[in-house]
Amino acid sequence: MTGPEKDETRTALEMAARASLRAPSVFNTQPWKWRLTGDVLELSSDPARRLGVTDAEGRLLLLSCGGALHHARLYLAAAGWRADVQRLPEAQRPDLLARIRIAGRAEPDLEAAELADAISRRRTDRRAFGDRPVSEETVTRLRRLVEAEGAYLHVVPDDRVPELAVSVDEAADANYFDPAHRTELTDWTHRPSWTGDGVPPSTAVQPSLRRVPVRNFLPDGSTGMLAGADHDEGAAYVIIFGTADRPVDLLRGGEAMSALLLRATAEGLATAPISEAVEVAWPRRLLSRLLSGVGEPYLVVRLGYVEASDVVPPSPRRPPADVIQVDE
């Protein structure tokens, strides 16, 4: 590939990396790096951005990076490019998570375009959801997308939501009484504006009564968004899971997470990942019981509808130059 065609593919790969900057990540750490060399785009994890306490095993880091990979793939498919993706291509480089090469032109993927259009609108909405239920048809569409990415989706039955609440509450207690965790939480909720990361108070929500507890990102009492008058009555709680927790499984789990969140956004649903129950070993075992022992839980997501008309402000994002290295 030479001349104008090579320049065109390099531009497409760089734009795909830029599209990934809006991917969700634990504590909005954005723990990934991109490197564009020739006609190859490489995704690596950024170990300096791993949460050493909250994510000691690096599971959430891999999920976050999987979300960035899916965002990049979506951009290319929507723009009419066929992409060849190699996951974990070199055993001796564990931080190298994926390589993307463009394999040629294709018809723009209309479903990918619809999801890519939702990237700029997706928010983590920590407010309380109303009593309008999520339809079975919607859940079925979400399940198919998750399975297409190599993971699985379990809907927590209403009569077992209290068990989910216990697992999240147990994890929240373990974190609260861990001074190192509280320090880490403070670090990522009090970031200077120039860093373009972390959870700002403008996107956090004041504590309120919920069916399943919501993490308090305002532990010092600073003002955040109001939760609203509802209590998640119509919310659906789903668990993204897989058959194993190898790095490649977690990476694919992150791709499935991205697909679910963007499809839900495209259909007008509000979404909020709940990672607390997978951060601590004992609550994660409780969560596994909800799967009847058939899978490894990666992430819980709350889905529903918000009655309020105001929009959650976007979380900050790092400048592209800090994340994407383009070699000449």
> What pLDDT digit, counting tens, does each position of 36-53 carry?
999 999 999 999 999 999
> pLDDT, tens digit, for every residue of 253-264?
999 999 999 999
The answer for residues whose C-beta is within 8 angstroms of residue 328's C-beta and 6 or more apart is none
The SS3 call for residue 152 is: strand
> pLDDT, tens digit, for every residue of 290-323?
999 889 999 999 999 998 778 899 999 999 999 9
Ramachandran quadrant class, 210 (left: phi over 0; alpha: psi -120 to 50; beta: rest): beta
In whole numbers, what is the pLDDT of the chain averaged over residues? Answer: 94
CA–CA distance, 219 with 53 (Å, rounded to integer): 17
Q: What is the pLDDT of residue 6?
A: 77
Per-residue pLDDT at 61 exceeds 80: yes
Per-residue pLDDT at 235 exceeds 80: yes
- For residue 4, what pLDDT band results from cuts at 50, 70 and 90? low
Q: What is the pTM of this model?
A: 0.96
The SS3 call for residue 84 is: strand
Phi, psi of 115 (to 5 degrees): -70, -40
Q: What is the pLDDT of residue 145?
A: 98
Residue 61 is encoded by which pair of tokens?
Answer: 């880091």
Q: What is the pLDDT of residue 311?
A: 86
CA 280 to chain centre: 18
Angle, CA 95 vertex, CA 89 and CA 96 arms, to 5°: 30
Per-residue pLDDT at 10 exceeds 70: yes
- Domains of the chain (ranges; CATH) run 3-121+315-327 (3.40.109.10), 136-304 (3.40.109.10)
Residue 281's H or E segment, with its range, is: helix 281-290
Q: What is the pLDDT of residue 307?
A: 84
Per-residue pLDDT at 238 exceeds 60: yes
Per-residue pLDDT at 237 exceeds 60: yes
CA–CA distance, 126 with 306 (Å, rounded to integer): 10
- For residue 229, what pLDDT band results from cuts at 50, 70 and 90? confident
Per-residue pLDDT at 176 exceeds 80: yes
CA–CA distance, 326 with 91 (Å, rounded to integer): 24
- For residue 3, what pLDDT band results from cuts at 50, 70 and 90? low
Once rounded to an integer, what is the mean pLDDT over residues 260-272? Answer: 97
- The one-character DSSP state at 158 is G
- For residue 201, what pLDDT band results from cuts at 50, 70 and 90? confident
Per-residue pLDDT at 249 exceeds 80: yes
